[in-house]
Structure 1
Amino acid sequence: MNHLAHALLAGPDEGRILGGVLGDFVRGAPDAALPTGVREGIALHRAIDGYTDRHPEVLAARALFEPPYRRYAGIALDMWFDHLLARDFARWSPSPLPAFSTDLRELLRRQDALLPATARRFAQYMRANDLPAAYAEPAVLDRALAGIGQRLQRDNPLGRMLPVLQEMDAPLQARFDAFFPQLQRFAHAWSPGFSPPATPGETAPGG
């Protein structure tokens, strides 16, 4: 999952929301000096990623991609699922997407001192591009995919994947619709030390 999903799934606690965003920018054990809520948010981010990577609906979505795109399906799906979440945000959250996006950027601004340098640069990119709300726009998603592709060392098709994703919109939407409510229940049930079910999708926590 990508930044919008992680922020939403973190719940109402600002520390966990911040940690949910920082999860992509912190390697190894989080600094013990970080507030407890932020460290919990980083741990939740990692739990969400692990649950997502094993989930049958996500595995089925990845299988829809043909070579050479399948190798990069994980990255593309992270971005596309944020796109699906953003374009139908009212279905998944009581907060309007523009307000949620603005509040998230404001949280990052207020907590600038806690951000690693890479996260600080990304926060500036978010402000400049109206993210994460703008992930609802295909053109913004296209630029984001191309940017990720340019940062990877090897040649890759990420900059050409938007038409592929758009062509598969209906089956990917169906997989997302089946998967995301289970992920929401997983995140809601999560706490430090929480053990996920062995077979995601069959027994959803709290379900």
Structure 2
Amino acid sequence: MNYLAHLFLAKDTPESLIGNLLGDFAKGSVKFLYTEEIRKGIELHRSVDTYTDSHPIFRASKRLIAQPRRKFSGILVDVFYDHFLARHWSEYSDVALEAFSSHVYKILVDNQAILPTSLLQIIPMMKAYDLLASYQEIGGIDNALRRIATRIRWQNNLADGIEDLIANYQQLEADFCAFFPELIDYAQTYCYQADRPLA
């Protein structure tokens, strides 16, 4: 899953939100780097990714990606699912997406001292363009894919992935709507197992 889904699945605490976002930026063991609650967020992020990657619905969505971009299918579907989460946000949350986004940005700004450089570098852009709320629109997804494409070190065609979203929109949306409630159940079960071992 991408940024928005991971943040949505976090507990409603600053530490959990930070940890669930850090899962994309903190590599390897984090045992001595962060508080226990942040580490639990990172572990939840990693577990969600493992669950998602192995889920038959997610795998079916990946098969919709055109062959020239198939090696990026996981990244593309992650971002596409964030689009559908943003579009269906009110079905899953009583808090408006824009309010949730502002809450996340404030937490990140207030905790910059503990964040890795790779995350610090994107916070101003996240705030300026309201990145999380922008996922509601196809144009916001197109911009997100273009940004991701520039961060990949080798030549790629990831920026053309918006074609896959447009061509398979209804099926991808149906896949997301079938998958996401299962992911919520999984994350809630994982999240509240207090004896879950940490990294």
TM-score (norm 2): 0.93
Quick one: which amino acid aligns to residue 75 of structure 2? Answer: I
Distance 1:180 1:194 in 2: 23
Query: After the TM superposition, which segments of 4 or more aligned residues of structure 1 sit over 2 Å from their partners?
Result: 191-195
**Shift of residue 158, structure 1, vs aligned partner:** 1.2
**Shift of residue 157, structure 1, vs aligned partner:** 1.7
Q: Deviations over 1:30-69 (max 9, x none)?
A: 1524111111000000000000000010011111223112
CA 1:136–1:41 in 2, change beyond 3 Å: closer, same or farther?
same
For the 8 Å contact 2:64–2:164, the answer to whether it is kept is no
**Shift of residue 112, structure 1, vs aligned partner:** 0.8
- State yes or no: 1:147 paired with 2:147: yes
Moved more, 88-97 or 180-189: 88-97
**Shift of residue 141, structure 1, vs aligned partner:** 1.4
Q: Who is 2:163 aligned against? A: 163
Q: Who is 2:25 aligned against? A: 25
Distance 2:151 2:195 in 1: 34
SS at match of 1:132: helix
Moved more, 148-157 or 14-23: 148-157
Distance 1:35 1:119 in 2: 18
Quick one: which amino acid aligns to residue 93 of structure 1? Answer: S
- State yes or no: 1:3 paired with 2:26: no
SS at match of 1:4: helix
Q: Who is 1:55 aligned against? A: 55
**Shift of residue 106, structure 1, vs aligned partner:** 0.5
In the TM superposition, what are the counterparts of 1:47-196 in structure 2 within 5 Å? 47-190=47-190, 191=193, 194=196
Distance 1:34 1:150 in 2: 29
CA 1:39–1:61 in 2, change beyond 3 Å: closer, same or farther?
same
For the 8 Å contact 2:66–2:164, the answer to whether it is kept is no
Residue ranges of structure 2 left out of the alignment (5+ in a row): none
Distance 2:195 2:74 in 1: 26
Quick one: which amino acid aligns to residue 41 of structure 2? Answer: G
Distance 1:122 1:100 in 2: 18
Residue ranges of structure 1 left out of the alignment (5+ in a row): 196-207
**Shift of residue 115, structure 1, vs aligned partner:** 0.4
Q: Who is 1:204 aligned against? A: none
Distance 1:183 1:193 in 2: 20
TM-score (norm 1): 0.89
Q: Who is 1:16 aligned against? A: 16
Distance 2:189 2:13 in 1: 14
Q: Deviations over 1:146-177 (max 9, x none)?
A: 12112223322211111221110100011111
Quick one: which amino acid aligns to residue 136 of structure 1? Answer: Q
**Shift of residue 75, structure 1, vs aligned partner:** 0.7
Instruction: Please provide the CA RMSD for this pair.
Output: 1.5
For the 8 Å contact 1:40–1:192, the answer to whether it is kept is no
For the 8 Å contact 1:76–1:161, the answer to whether it is kept is yes
Q: Who is 2:41 aligned against? A: 41
Distance 1:192 1:73 in 2: 34
SS at match of 2:12: coil
Quick one: which amino acid aligns to residue 149 of structure 1? Answer: A
CA 1:193–1:175 in 2, change beyond 3 Å: closer, same or farther?
farther
CA 1:110–1:65 in 2, change beyond 3 Å: closer, same or farther?
same
